[in-house]
Amino acid sequence: MAASRVQVPKWVQPQTSKEKLDYIELANLDLSKFDDPTTRKELAKEFFTALTTTGFFTITNHGISKVDWDQQMDLAHEVMTMSPEEKKPYEVSCEDDSKGIYCGFKIAGGPGYHRAVDWFNMLLNDKVADRKVPPALAPYMSETRKIMHHVRDFVQHKLLILLAMSLELPEEDVLATHKRGECSSEYYRFSGYSPLTKEEKVKSRGLFMPGHADWGTFSILFSQTIAALQVLDYETGTFKWVEHVPYALIVNVGQGLELLTGGLYKATIHRVVTPPKDQEQELRVGLFYFSRPNDDYMMLPMASSPVLKRLGFDNPLDPEHIFNATEFLEAKKHGYMKPDFDVDKPKDATHVDDFRSGDRYGIAKPLVSYGPGSGIKVQ
């Protein structure tokens, strides 16, 4: 069977930028240290440090082979380079979109969507068993499902155990917050960021995605060669570039984990900007997995954690708004906890931010401090 499949065209990623960029220093968690109890303890300490400083880190020895990794990159490139007409039959329907079921390509030119940003979402827990996917991807869905579930059941699983260790909680209590099949918005995503025209660049302030925090627990990105991702450095209060690490996963903390830890592990502010000059005309292809709590999980601090108690992070961050995970996503879609972080790229008087068209919560303040020196200093 496999021999008769159409071979996925090999995609050679663009060269890394030669420009001297101000990169942020990220910790690396080597998951090969997980199996031995002694080195696992070290890893839990490294996890704690990474999550109380930048909230961004890389992962190596994640169990995805180079062959499988490259195949996913090739598939993502094939899917993201389909024409708008070819993509159309696989767009999320307006009905599903309004119900929060976001599967397939985003609606081209829909409200709040940046034209140059394109996504293809695959649900990990898809209620539709035989959902149609583009022809280039269809013969490779079993491999693709294997990878997305590996990221969930191997990488995320280990991160949740490290989370339990770092909070001195029983691991089964933490694992129960992310039960298999209990989250309807757990996605694996291919993304494509097309080069901006001169006009688009001015209109968007050179931002593909403005500064924001993701809403889930962990966002896990497959590192790729085009520099565009920036992270807010709490030491300086400025955005710094994230450097490509071949075959490493890049992880950032989302607001879900911030709420579950009362702000100890705060969500990291990041954005996607125009790549440096020598990569500006390239399509930036991305691969992501978004980790999220169970739909009905209440987004409150895991108050039985001795660590959260000891450090004073055991209270709800926003007692006025207590949501479960589904309600929190809905609130996020309508502007909850979405301040403007791109103060270094001021808007002119005529600027209209399409992303804010459906906001109910207005320009909300973040629940934790993100200013210079706001990294949490604990031993």
Q: Give whichever of 311 and 364 is closer to Fe ion, judged by the CB atom.
A: 364
In the bound state, the residue with its beta carbon closest to Fe ion is 214
Residues contacting 203, CB < 8 A, separation 6+: none
Site size with Fe ion, rule: CB under 5 A: 1
**Which is closer to Fe ion, CB of 43 or CB of 227?**
227
CA-to-CA distance for 207 and 250, rounded, in angstroms?
Answer: 20
> Phi and psi at residue 96, in whole multiples of 5°?
-65, -40
- Report the length, in residues, of the chain: 379
Q: What is the DSSP letter of 366?
A: P
Cα–Cα distance measured from residue 257 to residue 309, given in angstroms and rounded to the nearest whole number: 16
Measured distance CA(8)–CA(21) in Å, rounded: 33
Task: Identify which of residues 34 and 290 has a Cβ nearer to Fe ion in the complex.
Answer: 290
Dump strand ranges (E) for 66-150. 104-105, 117-123
Stretch that binds Fe ion, among 2-10, 52-60, 116-124, 207-215 (CB under 5 A): 207-215
Query: Taking contact as CB under 5 A, which single stretch among the options 153-161, 210-218, 284-292, 325-333 is the one that binds Fe ion?
Result: 210-218
Supply the minimum distance, in Å, between the C-beta of residue 149 and Fe ion: 22
Task: Find residue 249's DSSP bridge partners.
Answer: 59, 222
Quickly count: other Cβ atoms within 10 Å of residue 73's Cβ: 21
Rounded Cα distance between 375 and 239, Å, is 14
Min dist. Cβ of residue 229 to Fe ion (A):
9
Report which secondary-structure segment, H or E, holds 78. Answer: helix 66-80
How deeply is 264 buried, as exposed, middle or buried, from its count of CB atoms within 10 A (0-12, 13-18, 19+)? Answer: buried
By beta-carbon proximity to Fe ion, the closer residue of 44 and 251 is: 251
In the complex, the smallest distance separating the C-beta of residue 194 from Fe ion, rounded to whole angstroms, is 18
Q: Does 46 bind Fe ion (CB under 5 A)?
A: no
Stretch that binds Fe ion, among 125-133, 200-208, 209-217, 292-300 (CB under 5 A): 209-217
Kindly tell me which of 34 and 187 has the beta carbon lying closer to Fe ion.
187
Output 214 or 342, the one with its CB closest to Fe ion.
214
**Could you say which residues in the range 213-242 bind Fe ion, by CB under 5 A?**
214
Closest CB 163 distance from Fe ion, rounded Å: 20
Stretch that binds Fe ion, among 39-47, 211-219, 330-338, 365-373 (CB under 5 A): 211-219
What is the binding site for Fe ion (CB under 5 A)? Answer: 214
